[in-house]
A = this chain, B = another copy of it.
């Protein structure tokens, strides 16, 4: 569907300027003792997973405003993910959400192969009721007071593992909305024990080469208490489950003002950092596009990750988790993947030897300036060159718009009406 020739055509218009900028940046970096080719290689090695649901327009409890060409099923979603990767070469895998993405595993694999995509962590869903579901999750899933409801939720997670196993996934991410809207609604201690008990059943079903990611969130959809409310509870969970259980950090799942890069550092210390859900946030779990609200925070997180490279056992799973309410989801996912990649490359530019010296000397001003110098380096030519060398687009958004892909799918795919939102 997506015509790859558009990449070639669009790149041709930009190559000369790119080469000029690349050479000029190379010279400046050389003066700082940095080899630009090594950074290009770093950028080429980078990849972040795209969530299948991110290819559709998101919404709030108030409304959802679909765009044209909304994907109707997982195969449409994989097509869109294919475009994202073809243009950016930075999004080589897709993370599925069950039950929505359920399909024949062979078909899933075939479609993914067609786009050179692989499957990242599986995501279970017990925060919504499905039409054919016996027990409701209105009052909880893995932590419900009723044993049958918990069993149903455990069973769903085991099914996610089973599906994932058939398509090459190696991890299950568990995020639940369980909690309470009223003080007293639940016994917080016993509810957590039920959670651990359910999670142990899921963990028992995990293949040896899989990992289980526990994801915390401070609030929403529960508005008084949430069972896995912060990294402390996520850590307790991962500790009680065992070596294959790790913690996942989402940039928007914290209380206001929290220093997220410090949580990254603490989880690395504890040997329990499993990966990230990337997005940006101004107020809460806003699920905004990565790097659009506080790009320096994104850099500071990457600074911790790059600093920890080589830590034994550190093997991070990175995924985008955003809600695209007012943009074309494909465009947002492309730009987001590149912004995350940018922060990674900037973090690779930190002069760690100088930094360690300033830290040791308590020269706060120069230590801080050392980080900012890396952050401020205009790495666009590096990112563009990496894409070009990998067969992607120098300017993915320009190429995408030139391709007419959105118009095409808008014509082909069934129209979605504007209903939705939790308030009616």
User: Chain A interface (Cβ within 8 Å of chain B)?
Assistant: 17, 20-21, 24, 27-28, 31, 53, 56, 58-65, 100, 127-129, 131, 136-139, 145, 177, 180-189, 192-193, 218-221, 223-225, 229-233, 235-236, 254-259, 261-263, 265-266, 268-270, 281-284, 286-289, 291-297, 300, 303-304, 307-308, 323, 325-328, 331-332, 335, 355-356, 358-362, 364-372, 375-378, 380, 397, 417-418, 420-424
User: Complex Cα distance A218/B365, Å?
Assistant: 23
Q: Is A257 a contact of B259 with CB atoms below 8 Å?
A: no
Q: Could you list 20 examples of A-B contacts with CB < 8 Å?
A: A128-B418, A182-B367, A183-B296, A184-B370, A184-B371, A186-B359, A187-B307, A192-B265, A219-B257, A224-B259, A224-B293, A230-B232, A236-B266, A255-B255, A289-B365, A293-B296, A296-B296, A323-B422, A376-B376, A420-B421
Q: Is A128 a contact of B63 with CB atoms below 8 Å?
A: yes
B residues less than 8 Å from A232 (CB atoms)? 230-232, 235, 263, 266
| A60 to chain B: closest residue by CB | B221
Q: Is A181 a contact of B423 with CB atoms below 8 Å?
A: no
Known: A61-B422, A259-B224, A288-B223. A183 touches B293 (CB 8 A): yes
* Secondary structure call for the A interface: loop
Q: Is A288 a contact of B255 with CB atoms below 8 Å?
A: no
Chain copies in the assembled complex: 4
User: Complex Cα distance A282/B256, Å?
Assistant: 10
Partner of A269, one of B138, B189, B360: B189
Q: Is B372 a contact of A129 with CB atoms below 8 Å?
A: no
Known pairs A183-B300, A236-B269 / 18 extra A-B pairs, C-beta < 8 Å: A24-B24, A59-B422, A62-B127, A62-B422, A100-B424, A128-B421, A129-B418, A183-B293, A184-B368, A187-B307, A188-B304, A192-B269, A218-B257, A232-B263, A291-B372, A292-B372, A376-B378, A421-B422
| A373 to chain B: closest residue by CB | B380
B residues less than 8 Å from A64 (CB atoms)? 422, 424
B residues less than 8 Å from A366 (CB atoms)? 397
Q: Is A185 a contact of B367 with CB atoms below 8 Å?
A: yes
User: Complex Cα distance A358/B180, Å?
Assistant: 13
User: Complex Cα distance A328/B21, Å?
Assistant: 37
User: Nearest Cβ distance between residue A39 and chain B, in whole angstroms?
Assistant: 16
Q: Is A256 a contact of B259 with CB atoms below 8 Å?
A: no
User: Nearest Cβ distance between residue A318 and chain B, in whole angstroms?
Assistant: 20
User: Nearest Cβ distance between residue A356 and chain B, in whole angstroms?
Assistant: 7
Q: Is B283 a contact of A220 with CB atoms below 8 Å?
A: yes
Q: Is A219 a contact of B335 with CB atoms below 8 Å?
A: no
User: Complex Cα distance A64/B286, Å?
Assistant: 19
User: Complex Cα distance A64/B61, Å?
Assistant: 9
B residues less than 8 Å from A296 (CB atoms)? 183, 293-296
User: Nearest Cβ distance between residue A258 and chain B, in whole angstroms?
Assistant: 5
Interface centre among A293, A326, A371, by most chain B C-beta atoms within 10 angstroms, is A326
Q: Is A326 a contact of B184 with CB atoms below 8 Å?
A: no
Known: A31-B17, A255-B256, A359-B145. A220 touches B60 (CB 8 A): yes
B residues less than 8 Å from A292 (CB atoms)? 182-183, 368, 372
User: Nearest Cβ distance between residue A342 and chain B, in whole angstroms?
Assistant: 9
User: Nearest Cβ distance between residue A103 and chain B, in whole angstroms?
Assistant: 16
| A25 to chain B: closest residue by CB | B24
Partner of A59, one of B294, B362, B423: B423
Known: A184-B359, A185-B364. A59 touches B61 (CB 8 A): yes
Interface centre among A223, A236, A377, by most chain B C-beta atoms within 10 angstroms, is A223
Q: Is B424 a contact of A225 with CB atoms below 8 Å?
A: no
